[in-house]
Structure 1
Amino acid sequence: MSTTSVRRKATHAASDEAAVTKATKATTEDGDAQATPQTGAPNPYALASLVGGRRINWGDVPDGPAVLEEIFDQPYTDLIGSADSPIFYGTTFEGGKPSRRRPEPAPVTEGNDNDVTDERDPDVSGAKTLADLVAALGTERLADIPVRGATLTRDGVLAELGRSGNGASPFARLFDERIIDILFPFEPGYHPPGFSWQDTGRFYNEATEFFDPVQGQVGDCYFISAMSSVAWAMPFTIADRTRATGTVQDAFTHQVSFFDGSWRSVEVSDRVLVASGGSTSYYAHSAEAGEIWPAVYEKAYAKWRFGTNDDFPKIPDLAWGDPVAACRSLTGGNSYYNWHSGMTDAQLLSLVKSHSAGGRTTTPIIAWTHGAGSDEAKRAALDAGIVASHAYSVLGWMRRYEWVPRWHLDLEIPRLIPKWTPPGPGPVIAGAAAAVDDLARLRIDLPDEFFRRYELRAVDYVIARNPWGSTPGTGSSTASGDYRAYDVSWWRDVQLGVNGVFAMEVSAFRRYFAGTGGAA
């Protein structure tokens, strides 16, 4: 550890604790602190670029999760569902509540600051017994070593063992002192190594769109998803208000207002954080090239929340927060929280529909997931690719008509009616477009056994978006194709599986997400 880190350690401990305390003080309007979710899963794709020291063009990567597994040396489902995950490095979960603190950098060998002691790769080659293995892994108890997989063979059991959370973190070498200084800043005025504040584009190209905000390496999913929900449901809310600060053309600031019982405005410049030699932020940025409004709003939100007077707020300290409170801060609406454990599928669907028109939300809605490391979070990650301790935008709902089994609803069958042209004249039947007369024509040509086993039923979906701008929900409970919604004055088709957008059956959505709320 450098002398600088030692000198600054005490200073940061106090400021970091204050940030966490402020993040956990949010309450509902009736003062019920139990009903405030805390989410803070950063974007692992941005984090991987930071750890790798170069920007990875993920659009050219055929299998992103596989690359993440290689970079972070952890199975993908553990990466997004486990509390012992590099995306939650520096965060501990006590009683299910997150607590974020600057971790110690990995130790270095005397005389060579670049020679990092490899805490991740203990020598297990000489282990002959389980006791030897425990000693080599530096674990006090055999019960602390997780088993990732086991196979019964002729000669015994072939097991893949993980690393326990005891002792030094297995991710300590990935996060060297430079990266820790970026993610866990000390002094006021944020100037992380390898980054600079630059004006890299226009506030927006033509308008604020729901797919514009993309989360970066900071764990402020609650705010990024809130921006997306507001841009979708209340498109006139996010606007560019500027004033000149000098006679030259680029001398101006943006005024951004946030609500917390009353409206308060802050002013920020166009300068956003970009890596040296780059033009796109590792922090919040827009899916559209040359557009910076999500980054400007993220900077303004940090300045408002921390009371910073300069133009360089400590954006990483935004990690962990309440997504419903973020919606309220952008709109001034009344916040509401609904935990799925006390709701039925019908009640959840009714909630989304009550804040929607034409299948599209008309007030911003957010859904939050189960806490990292919980059994529910692990199941959601494994079954549906849902990220733990994360916030998602809710865009609306849709209904499709699908063939489902009459008796065994747990059987897997094709979810949608396949494209099929009946013999002779007649329309092509695709998806939910089958009308009654088309169904009658189908009955003529499909075997009777099919109709004894399956029936055409209405299936309702909730439409959501991951603020990472990628990694939509997956699995048998999700739908493909397009989602159609009435966007104020016109019908919009949104492709599912793109930009992080997905449709999930209401029953699955209720199980895999912990709650839904918003600001109305």
Structure 2
Amino acid sequence: MVTSGSPSESPRGAPSNIDAFALFEALTGHKIDRRSIPSRTMSEDYEVLGNDGDDRPPLGQEPSPDEPPKDVFIGAINPYALVEAMIGHRLDRRALSTARILADVLQTDYEELFDMKHDSVLFAGLKLNEDNRQAEEIPEKEIQILEERDLVTPDLSRVKKLDDLEKIGLKELGDVRIKIAHMQNGKLRLVLDGQSLGKTVSNREVTETINDLALPFRHGKENQPWSPPNGSWRDMNDILSRGFPRRPMMDGPPFAMHGGLHQFREQYQHRFDDPTQGASSDSWLIAAIFSVFWANPAMINRSTRMTMTGPMDRARRTLSVRFHDKGGRNNADTDTVEVDYMIPVNNSTDMPIYARSSDGCEAWPALYEKAFIKWMTRTEDRSRVDMTQAHNGDPIKAMAQINGREPRYYFTDRHSGPELVGIVRSCSVNRRTISPMAAWTHATGDMFRGSNLVANHAYSVLGWVSEGQENNQYIIIRNPWGVTEPRGLTSYPGLLDRVEPEFWPPAALLDRDGVFSVEVQAFKKYFACIGVAK
């Protein structure tokens, strides 16, 4: 029996028991509040066995992996981080009003942001192949940079009749798509597609700001050092230490007013450093990093070292990370790369523009993202890396590039629901994955009407849960945006948001924003592929 009490002495004089708290902290890298642990009388959960009529492989035999895909172009820009970088202040990601801000700044109706069929700017640089519901890259020459005059709309104050719309540029009025038709009090209210009257940003047409923030296309600036708009390269140590009193990245009172650094650490030792995607489209990479971290925190190197650099021998912290050659795009020879703490920071908010930890207090997620991009692009400079080069990719292969294992792919249209949840269960202990898993969604579908589920987007797979019977099983996933859509905007059949420890006990170990449970049949509908690196 593993206990947390005083160790008893064995006949040879050595302690016979392991401190369970210390072991947990060593394995996960998180401090635990020993006072909050429930007593040992806590009831056990037992799963109900299913019937013998399912169509899974024979007992003891795992489904065979599918042939690895040749090209995977998964990636959706995080709209919250993108808009924050564009407007220079933070958003309340839990407020219903934020949806209106996203729609206004990105010039796209909120319900059309998250599906590739609407040519959403969140998929800038990618186009939809409608035949196979997959994304393809758009050549750089087809990306247009919009100027202010392109976005100007005509004066509508003098429009009195439908014919007047044609006079100001709405051509072929009879063929214009009607988005909404509503009859109220004898008046017909219409919302028409008015793209011919004025341009908006899209997957092919972006402003220079969006291009420089999220796309790898430099448009004549190839030989210039890259820096994001309203951003500068700054030492993350300085940002974190200066940010504590001002608290730009955390909630709650400043530690300087409440007992100093010791009490601050006590207050925040239970917060989480889960990697969160920034103002880029590298959801495939952030989901992969989190999946490896979640399955085995010891695989992630969070230990930096001091080096002496520069003519004055100034001390600087660096992080070394080893990545593994797995072939194809976004890849390089197996090698260890070193990066320093210089990251792109928004000049207005002092926030990292790209990957950050969910609590804003840890540097390693930003450094891992930077190190991977440096490795795959073979950049020599350990300080400055073009963070937009991880524009799209393969989250399952990325997990293998991080942990050195082999990627295995399972396409949902080739496997039954019980098979899919069986794959997750075979990679889990106590309903939590111990081999990193990730999945990506189809590029289009009627179900993508809000940020809880996003088309052509990568998710970490965290485990599974069963609600009383075999045919009511859920796969637990996490959106790398770290955002759970406010209640009241949309709803999804087969999806439960706000996953709490009472429903799924491992939820106590992570920041639950962005974590969902998807019933396995709904998972087959929403997701195109699930995979593991082991």
User: TM exceeds 0.5?
Assistant: yes
Local SS of the residue matching 1:471: coil
Report if aligned partners of 1:327, 1:364 keep a CA contact under 8 Å in 2. Answer: yes
Per-residue deviation at 1:381? 1.4
Aligned to 1:214: 276
Report if aligned partners of 1:195, 1:275 keep a CA contact under 8 Å in 2. Answer: yes
State the distance in 1 between where 2:461 and 2:69 align.
Answer: 23
Local SS of the residue matching 2:181: strand
Report if aligned partners of 2:465, 2:475 keep a CA contact under 8 Å in 1. Answer: yes
Report if aligned partners of 1:222, 1:320 keep a CA contact under 8 Å in 2. Answer: yes
RMSD: 3.7
Per-residue deviation at 1:282? 1.6
Per-residue deviation at 1:40? 1.1
Aligned to 1:518: 532
1:469 aligns with 2:504: no
Normalised by the length of structure 2, the TM-score is: 0.69
Report if aligned partners of 2:66, 2:409 keep a CA contact under 8 Å in 1. Answer: no
Report if aligned partners of 1:134, 1:142 keep a CA contact under 8 Å in 2. Answer: no
Report Cα offsets for 1:106-151 as digits up to 9, x if no partner. Answer: 33xxxxxxxx2253534455667767646645557854x4432223
Per-residue deviation at 1:181? 3.2
Report Cα offsets for 1:154-205 as digits up to 9, x if no partner. Answer: 86853212344x7974128x95434433334443642234211112239999
Report if aligned partners of 1:224, 1:467 keep a CA contact under 8 Å in 2. Answer: yes
With over 3 angstroms needed to count, the CA separation of the structure-2 counterparts of 1:82 and 1:149, relative to structure 1, is: farther
Give the AA of the match of 1:502: F
State the distance in 2 between where 1:258 and 1:209 align.
Answer: 28
State the distance in 1 between where 2:511 and 2:100 align.
Answer: 18
Aligned to 1:171: 201
Bigger drift between 238-247 and 216-225 goes to: 238-247
Local SS of the residue matching 2:201: coil
- 1:97 aligned to which of 115, 131, 135: 135
Report Cα offsets for 1:64-97 as digits up to 9, x if no partner. Answer: 3233223334322201124421222343335643
User: Which residues in structure 2 correspond to 1:380-391 (within 5 Å)?
Assistant: 380-382=447-449, 385-391=452-458
With over 3 angstroms needed to count, the CA separation of the structure-2 counterparts of 1:251 and 1:134, relative to structure 1, is: same
- 1:315 aligned to which of 387, 393, 404: 387
State the distance in 2 between where 1:32 and 1:484 align.
Answer: 37
Report if aligned partners of 1:200, 1:279 keep a CA contact under 8 Å in 2. Answer: no
With over 3 angstroms needed to count, the CA separation of the structure-2 counterparts of 1:230 and 1:314, relative to structure 1, is: same
Aligned to 2:252: none
Local SS of the residue matching 2:508: strand
Per-residue deviation at 1:382? 3.0
1:280 aligns with 2:351: yes
State the distance in 1 between where 2:499 and 2:376 align.
Answer: 40
Per-residue deviation at 1:63? 3.7
Report if aligned partners of 1:471, 1:500 keep a CA contact under 8 Å in 2. Answer: yes
Report if aligned partners of 2:279, 2:354 keep a CA contact under 8 Å in 1. Answer: yes
State the distance in 1 between where 2:450 and 2:228 align.
Answer: 38
Aligned to 1:268: 339
Local SS of the residue matching 2:421: helix
Report if aligned partners of 2:180, 2:190 keep a CA contact under 8 Å in 1. Answer: yes
Local SS of the residue matching 2:398: helix
1:259 aligns with 2:277: no
Normalised by the length of structure 1, the TM-score is: 0.70
State the distance in 2 between where 1:220 and 1:272 align.
Answer: 16
Give the AA of the match of 1:182: L
Report Cα offsets for 1:427-448 as digits up to 9, x if no partner. Answer: xxxxxxxxxxxxxxxxxxxxxx
1:182 aligns with 2:222: no
Per-residue deviation at 1:335? 0.8
User: Which residues in structure 2 correspond to 1:314-333 (within 5 Å)?
Assistant: 314-333=386-405
Report if aligned partners of 1:496, 1:502 keep a CA contact under 8 Å in 2. Answer: no
**Count of aligned residue pairs for this structure pair:** 417
State the distance in 2 between where 1:518 and 1:141 align.
Answer: 51
State the distance in 2 between where 1:352 and 1:281 align.
Answer: 33
Aligned to 2:193: 162
Aligned to 2:467: 400
With over 3 angstroms needed to count, the CA separation of the structure-2 counterparts of 1:81 and 1:155, relative to structure 1, is: same
With over 3 angstroms needed to count, the CA separation of the structure-2 counterparts of 1:210 and 1:141, relative to structure 1, is: farther
State the distance in 2 between where 1:514 and 1:250 align.
Answer: 47
Local SS of the residue matching 1:201: helix
Local SS of the residue matching 2:400: helix
State the distance in 1 between where 2:228 and 2:362 align.
Answer: 22
Aligned to 1:13: none
Higher relative contact order, structure no. (Cα contacts within 8 Å, ≥ 6 residues apart):
2
Aligned to 2:407: 335
User: Which residues in structure 2 correspond to 1:52-451 (within 5 Å)?
Assistant: 52=87, 54-59=88-93, 61-83=95-117, 84-94=119-129, 96-100=134-138, 101=140, 103-107=143-147, 116-117=148-149, 119=151, 121-124=153-156, 133=165, 136-137=168-169, 143=175, 145-152=176-183, 157-164=188-195, 169-171=199-201, 176-183=207-214, 184-185=217-218, 186-187=221-222, 189-201=225-237, 212-246=274-308, 250-261=315-326, 263-310=334-381, 311-371=383-443, 374=444, 376=445, 379-382=446-449, 385-401=452-468
Aligned to 2:500: 482
Aligned to 2:259: none
Report if aligned partners of 1:464, 1:503 keep a CA contact under 8 Å in 2. Answer: yes
- 2:75 aligned to which of 21, 26, 40: 40
Give the AA of the match of 2:297: P
Task: Give unmatched runs, 5+ long, in structure 1.
Answer: 1-28, 108-115, 402-455
State the distance in 2 between where 1:167 and 1:259 align.
Answer: 50
State the distance in 1 between where 2:166 and 2:288 align.
Answer: 45
State the distance in 1 between where 2:492 and 2:511 align.
Answer: 11
Give the AA of the match of 2:474: Y
Local SS of the residue matching 1:246: strand
Per-residue deviation at 1:211? 5.7
Give the AA of the match of 1:257: R
State the distance in 1 between where 2:180 and 2:495 align.
Answer: 27
Per-residue deviation at 1:51? 2.7
State the distance in 2 between where 1:120 and 1:385 align.
Answer: 32
